[in-house]
């Protein structure tokens, strides 16, 4: 195995591990092809730390005499420090970690080697098929159809093989529309609002260019989603000037003259490197050890992270409002339609659709609106906030989405079936995982890598009853209503569960969560006991009754 070549020193003794809020521990460090393993035999209970190499974002090494110190910064934002005696060992280990954590071939990643220790009850790869989704849709409307136009990924490489489109538009028209949209991402159905039959579509920008090219089929497709006489809204996630500039590069936006039934709203959402920089600055601020209160707030402000959260939530609320309150259909797009577009469409569904607030429904949402919709996870999540490399494809787009869900969760703590841990788990797995779910940039790549055959799906693991119980919100009471979050600065908070997770003592908060669970659990137990007794009594009384009269 070629990993062996990368591991010059597979094992080092007398290594000291420093973790925040834990006493330093001495033990043995082992490197394997995919893990860094630290084990200490102190006390009776041997402590072990298993760290996926792919979770390592960056490492620093320094020496004091012959004692080497490696600081490992992880993609889940954790920082650990290893003191390794012996300069050579330390150098070897550092270079091995560096090599193993930056493998450039996907097929060398851990998911291809991971063998689950659990019995697979349900294969997650086929848990959320668009066909099932369409079946649900068909029970309420017959205006839509499943199209296999993209079967070979030939029309749009970043779309799944099947998509839902208006019934009145045939595959031939779709092919033409695809040529008129960036990356072939023609408008497809994202969400159907049962309450009033309004829909949310998503696409990429139209390729109008400077001379105002138009595409009759595109106009027809878009208009097919409108009820007669009604208007719709195009939510463009770029500011007007950016959209205008895009024309010079062949892109553009829907012009009023050609789309008279549509009103365009530009709602700017930051993208790519700006978000990545913001992420890096925020994490820096959170790790700042100084005692100065003022610097903390100004650093938090300067990171602009919460500004992005506020803008994203506002855009999603706007989309939801157009659908639910204005009874208008909505088309969402930015440039490529693979980032901010998906943030908006998926958050709007959280607000509008109670199903998306269940565990199963939220998983389906992520599969549908992120994985199948072609969010380039592999590019975006290649590095996290500690990366030194200035690659331009990384961006915490998915993390921002998860945080917005958390913000809504915080405002409606009883309306979600899952808890904060569930969101944090998704964040972790998007960046480093033993499962193949978040590998690849779209369904096309996943199919080529044969991920469903060669790797395990995250959902196969998560949806096992024993795992699910960790992610359930004890306070959940199904809430069938639309939930409108507040986007005022006073209502938005830093997501401590992710950003301060390793810098704050969590004991007291965990105890509180345990207490909450116990209160609910005890209540349910009593309910069960009371019901059982009632039944028992009822039976006894039935027997008694004849005797009474």
Partner 1 sequence: VENVRLLDRLSSRRAVVGTLYLTATHVIFVENGSETRKETWVLHSQISSIEKQATTATGCPLLIRCKNFQVIQLVIPQERDCHDVYISLIRLARPVKYEELYCFSFNPKLDKEEREQGWKLVDLNEEYNRMGVPNNYWQISDVNRDYGVCDSYPTEVYVPKSATAHIIVGSSKFRSRRRFPALSYYCKGNNASICRSSQPLSGFSARCLEDEQMLQAIRKANPGSDFIYVVDTRPKLNAMANRAAGKGYENEDNYSNIKFQFIGIENIHVMRNSLQKMLEVCELKSPSMSDFLWGLENSGWLKHIKAIMDAGIFIAKAVAEEGVSVLVHCSDGWDRTAQVCSVASLLLDPYYRTMKGFMVLIEKDWVSFGHKFNHRYGNLDGDPKEISPVIDQFIECVWQLMEQFPCAFEFNERFLIHIQHHIYSCQFGNFLCNSQKERRELKIKERTYSLWAHLWKNRADYLNPLYRSDHSQSQGTLHPQIAPCNFLYKFWSGMYNRFEKGLHPRQSVTDYLMAVKEETQQLEEELEVLQERLANLQKSQSGNNKVKSKQQDRSKQFGLYTSNNSLANTPQEYSNDLKSFPSRSPSQGDEDSALILTQDNLKSSDPDLSANSDQESGVEDLSCRSPSGGGCLPSEDSGKDSDEAVFLAG
Determine the distance from the C-alpha atom of residue 231 to the mean position of all C-alpha atoms in its chain, rounded to a whole number.
32
Question: Which of residues 121 and 540 has its CB atom nearest to partner 1 in the complex?
Answer: 540
Alpha-carbon distance of 190 to 225, in angstroms, equals 12
Question: Which of residues 171 and 496 has its CB atom nearest to partner 1 in the complex?
Answer: 496
Alpha-carbon distance of 485 to 184, in angstroms, equals 34
Determine the distance from the C-alpha atom of residue 182 to the mean position of all C-alpha atoms in its chain, rounded to a whole number.
24
Q: How far is the CB of 408 from partner 1 (least distance, A)?
A: 10
Q: How far is the CB of 154 from partner 1 (least distance, A)?
A: 38
Nearest alpha carbon to residue 216 among 173, 175, 262, 171? 173
Dihedral sign, Cα of residue 519, residue 524, residue 529, residue 535? positive
Q: Give the count of beta carbons closer than 10 Å to the beta carbon of residue 51.
A: 20
Q: How far is the CB of 488 from partner 1 (least distance, A)?
A: 5
Question: Which of residues 174 and 328 has its CB atom nearest to partner 1 in the complex?
Answer: 328
Question: Which of residues 151 and 534 has its CB atom nearest to partner 1 in the complex?
Answer: 534
Question: Which of residues 80 and 317 has its CB atom nearest to partner 1 in the complex?
Answer: 317
Alpha-carbon distance of 343 to 351, in angstroms, equals 12
Angstrom CA distances, 543 to 146, 531, 537, 539, stand at 59, 19, 10, 7
Question: Which of residues 25 and 300 has its CB atom nearest to partner 1 in the complex?
Answer: 300
Question: Which of residues 79 and 458 has its CB atom nearest to partner 1 in the complex?
Answer: 79
Alpha-carbon distance of 420 to 402, in angstroms, equals 10
Question: Which of residues 307 and 379 has its CB atom nearest to partner 1 in the complex?
Answer: 307
Alpha-carbon distance of 280 to 398, in angstroms, equals 15
Number of DSSP helices (H) and strands (E) in the chain, helices first: 20, 14
Q: How far is the CB of 227 from partner 1 (least distance, A)?
A: 14
Nearest alpha carbon to residue 311 among 328, 334, 288, 329? 334
HEC states along 457-512? CHHHHHCCHHHHHHHECCCCCCCCCCCCCCCCHHHCCCCHHHHCCCCCCCHHHHHH
| Contacts with 311 (C-beta within 8 Å, 6 or more apart), sequence order | 267, 268, 269, 270
User: Are residues 155 and 149 in contact, defined by beta-carbon separation less than 8 angstroms?
Assistant: yes
Question: Which of residues 24 and 530 has its CB atom nearest to partner 1 in the complex?
Answer: 530
Q: How far is the CB of 91 from partner 1 (least distance, A)?
A: 31
Q: How far is the CB of 55 from partner 1 (least distance, A)?
A: 23
Dihedral sign, Cα of residue 376, residue 380, residue 381, residue 382? positive
According to DSSP, the β-strands at 198-202 and 329-333 are parallel
Alpha-carbon distance of 366 to 388, in angstroms, equals 29
Q: How far is the CB of 11 from partner 1 (least distance, A)?
A: 34
Nearest alpha carbon to residue 218 among 269, 262, 248? 262
Alpha-carbon distance of 370 to 178, in angstroms, equals 20
Question: Which of residues 22 and 392 has its CB atom nearest to partner 1 in the complex?
Answer: 22
Q: How far is the CB of 516 from partner 1 (least distance, A)?
A: 7
Q: How far is the CB of 383 from partner 1 (least distance, A)?
A: 24
Question: Which of residues 229 and 465 has its CB atom nearest to partner 1 in the complex?
Answer: 229
Question: Which of residues 51 and 243 has its CB atom nearest to partner 1 in the complex?
Answer: 243
Give me 195's structure tokens.
Answer: 């309450």
User: Are residues 332 and 235 in contact, defined by beta-carbon separation less than 8 angstroms?
Assistant: yes
Q: How far is the CB of 508 from partner 1 (least distance, A)?
A: 5
Q: How far is the CB of 475 from partner 1 (least distance, A)?
A: 6
Q: How far is the CB of 333 from partner 1 (least distance, A)?
A: 17
Q: Within 13 A of 403's CA, how many CA atoms are on the CB side?
A: 23
């Amino acid at each position: 195995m070629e990993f062996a070549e990368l591991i010059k020193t597979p094992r080092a003794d007398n290594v000291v591990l420093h973790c925040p809020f834990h006493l330093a521990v001495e033990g043995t460090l082992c490197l394997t092809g995919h893990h860094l393993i630290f084990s200490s035999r102190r006390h009776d209970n041997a402590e072990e730390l298993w760290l996926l190499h792919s979770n390592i974002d960056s490492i620093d090494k320094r020496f004091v005499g012959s004692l080497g110190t490696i600081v490992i910064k992880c993609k889940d934002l954790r920082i650990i420090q290893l003191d390794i005696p012996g300069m050579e060992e330390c150098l070897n280990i550092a270079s091995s970690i560096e090599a193993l954590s930056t493998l450039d071939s996907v097929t060398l990643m851990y998911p291809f080697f991971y063998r689950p220790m659990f019995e697979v009850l349900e294969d997650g790869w086929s848990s959320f098929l668009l066909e099932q989704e369409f079946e649900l849709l068909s029970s309420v409307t017959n205006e839509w159809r499943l199209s296999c136009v993209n079967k070979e990924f030939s029309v749009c490489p970043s779309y799944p093989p099947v998509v839902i489109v208006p019934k009145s538009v045939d595959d031939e028209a779709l092919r033409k529309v695809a040529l008129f949209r960036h990356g072939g991402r023609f408008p497809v159905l994202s969400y159907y609002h049962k309450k009033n039959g309004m829909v949310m579509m998503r696409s990429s920008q139209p390729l109008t260019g400077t001379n105002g090219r138009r595409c009759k089929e595109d106009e027809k497709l878009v208009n097919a989603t409108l009820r007669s006489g009604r208007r719709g809204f195009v939510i463009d996630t770029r500011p007007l000037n950016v959209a205008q500039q895009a024309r010079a590069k062949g892109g553009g936006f829907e012009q009023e003259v050609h789309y008279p039934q549509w009103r365009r709203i530009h709602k700017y959402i930051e993208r790519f490197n700006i978000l990545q920089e913001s992420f890096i600055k925020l994490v820096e601020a959170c790790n700042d050890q100084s005692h100065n209160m003022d610097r903390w707030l100004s650093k938090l402000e300067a990171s602009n992270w919460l500004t992005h959260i506020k803008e994203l939530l506002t855009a999603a609320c706007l989309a939801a409002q157009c659908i639910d309150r204005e009874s208008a259909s909505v088309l969402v797009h930015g440039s490529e339609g693979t980032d901010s577009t998906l943030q908006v469409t998926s958050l709007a569904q959280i607000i509008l659709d109670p199903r998306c607030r269940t565990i199963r429904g939220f998983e389906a949402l992520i599969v549908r609106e992120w994985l199948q919709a072609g969010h380039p996870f592999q590019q975006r999540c290649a590095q996290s906030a500690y990366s030194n490399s200035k690659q331009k494809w990384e961006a915490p787009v998915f993390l921002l989405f998860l945080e917005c869900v958390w913000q809504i969760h915080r405002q409606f703590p009883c309306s979600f079936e899952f808890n904060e841990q569930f969101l944090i788990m998704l964040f972790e797995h998007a960046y480093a995982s033993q499962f193949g779910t978040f590998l690849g940039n779209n369904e096309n790549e996943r199919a080529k890598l044969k991920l469903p055959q060669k790797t395990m799906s995250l959902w196969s693991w998560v949806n096992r009853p024993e795992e699910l119980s960790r992610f359930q919100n004890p306070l959940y009471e199904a809430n069938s209503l639309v939930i409108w979050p507040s986007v005022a600065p006073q209502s938005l908070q830093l997501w401590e569960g992710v950003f301060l997770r390793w810098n704050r003592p969590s004991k007291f908060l965990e105890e509180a969560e345990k207490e909450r669970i116990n209160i609910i659990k005890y209540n349910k137990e009593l309910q069960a006991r009371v019901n059982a007794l009632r039944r028992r009594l009822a039976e006894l009384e039935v027997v008694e009754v004849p005797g009474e009269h």
